[in-house]
Homo-oligomer: A and B are copies of this chain.
Amino acid sequence: MASVTGPEIDRLIQLLARLPGLGPRSARRAALHLIKKREALMTPLAGALQVAIDKIRVCETCGNIDTRSPCTVCTDARRDPSIIVVVADVADLWALERAGASSGLYHVLGGTLSPLDGVGPQDLTIDALVSRAHDPRVTEIVLALNATVDGQTTAHYITDLIGDANVRVTRLAHGVPVGGELDYLDEGTLSAAMRQRTLF
């Protein structure tokens, strides 16, 4: 294949194949699509990447990514500085923001504790979170972590560490997803939804 496509296209395909969601086959299709749409897509994408390379940085306060640090969320005066929502990843922050789920600030851990994958406390921004928890303005830490073993291990670890801070530590409710059918839900979720039932 190298003899036909040449090193330039091979290199483009290899780099595209390293994006999550694209395998070797779809990377070839993507490369071909880009080359066919040179003006409409390839040139704007190269430009957008260069802008991102030049401008995007990690917020030194919360770990969000933005064109400025502290980020737009951290500097937004309309947000409630008494609540810090702890997420594993920036993608989770985006998901909560799309849902308009919180008006508080955020703290991005950069992952979850995972002994099997060699991820320990020093690999996450837990120290910074502990400092923020001791800020007198902060009254609540919401642990918005995945309902997985790693997520819950991380939640317990953080809860222990900030036990001496004067804050309420909460976590997301378990329950039936909106639009979800009971028949398809696992027993753990159903039991939790029943335990945490609310007045109609």
Option from B35, B45, B46 in Cβ contact (under 8 Å) with A65: B35
User: In the complex, how many angstroms separate the beta carbon of A52 from the nearest chain B beta carbon?
Assistant: 5
Task: Give the number of times this chain occurs in the complex, counting copies.
Answer: 2
Q: A5-B94, A30-B19 are in contact. Are A42 and B53 (CB under 8 A)?
A: yes
**How many Å from the CB of A60 to the closest CB on chain B?**
16
Tell which of A10-18, A126-134, A155-163, A172-180 binds the partner.
A10-18
We find that the number of chain A residues with CB closer than 8 angstroms to chain B is 54
Instruction: Determine the distance from Cα of A148 to Cα of B5 in the docked complex, in whole angstroms.
Output: 26
Question: A149 within 8 Å of B by Cβ?
Answer: no
Residues A56 and B1 in contact, CB atoms below 8 Å apart: no
- Asked whether A67 lies within 8 Å of B29 as measured between CB atoms, the reply is no
Complex CA distance for A33 and B30, rounded to whole angstroms: 17
A55, closest chain B residue (CB): B8
Instruction: Tell me, in angstroms, the Cα distance from A97 to B16 when the chains sit together.
Output: 21
Write the nearest CB–CB distance from A90 to chain B, whole angstroms: 6
Majority-rule SS of A interface residues = helix
Please give the residue numbers on chain A whose beta carbons come within 8 Å of chain B beta carbons, in ascending order: 1, 3-6, 8-9, 11-12, 15-16, 18-22, 26, 28-35, 38, 41-46, 48-53, 55-56, 64-67, 72-73, 76, 89-91, 93-94, 97-98
Q: A97 to nearest B CB, angstroms? A: 4
What are 13 A-B pairs at a CB distance below 8 A?
A3-B76, A4-B66, A4-B73, A4-B93, A4-B97, A12-B52, A21-B21, A22-B30, A32-B91, A34-B49, A38-B56, A42-B52, A46-B53
Give chain B residues whose Cβ lies under 8 Å from the Cβ of A55: 8
Contact residue among B21, B64, B93, B94 (Cβ-Cβ distance under 8 Å from A30): B21
Q: Quick check: B35 and A29 within 8 Å, CB to CB?
A: no
Alpha-carbon distance A15/B64, docked complex (angstroms): 21
